[in-house]
Amino acid sequence: MNKAHFQSVNEYIASHPESVQAVLGLVRSSICKALPRADEVISYNMPAYKLNGDVVIYFAGWKKHYSLYPANDRLVAAFKGELAQYKVEKGTIRFPLTDPVPVKLIGQIARFRGVEAKHRAEANGAAAKEK
């Protein structure tokens, strides 16, 4: 099977069935609203959002669900209650395509990942100054 290599997020979303396109569009807009300064790119053949050159969040559509990546231990702990109804494992949060898109939660997760990236960049900058 020849797997497509996407050049844009529009192309990625368009490759899915119409009903899934609508869901992925909501996921995309939630992330973009939460991270307005992020660069939208394709990385590992899925939509990704970069801040300061580092990817902070990805999303992908599948047959029965869509996913956000990465979900580290801090993120999962911070959103423990909100994520209880979703499948979370190995850095992945899975949302069923049949449920309403939790746009507020997705935005909060994206902002959380953005803050983590900011702290990482600040820590790296401080470490570089110490050398």
For the stretch 39-86, pLDDT in tens is 999 999 999 999 988 999 999 999 999 999 998 999 999 999 999 999
Give residue 129's pLDDT. Answer: 57
**Span 102-117, average pLDDT:** 96
Give residue 1's pLDDT. Answer: 36
Give residue 119's pLDDT. Answer: 87
Per-residue pLDDT tens for 24-46?
A: 999 999 999 999 999 999 999 99
**Number of CB atoms found within 10 A of residue 76's CB:** 14
Give residue 106's pLDDT. Answer: 98
**Rounded CA separation 50/113 (Å):** 10
Read off the tokens for 30: 């939630």
- For the chain, the average pLDDT equals 92
Name the CATH topology of 9-130.
Aspartate Aminotransferase, domain 1 (3.90.1150)
- Indicate if the pLDDT at residue 126 is higher than 70: no
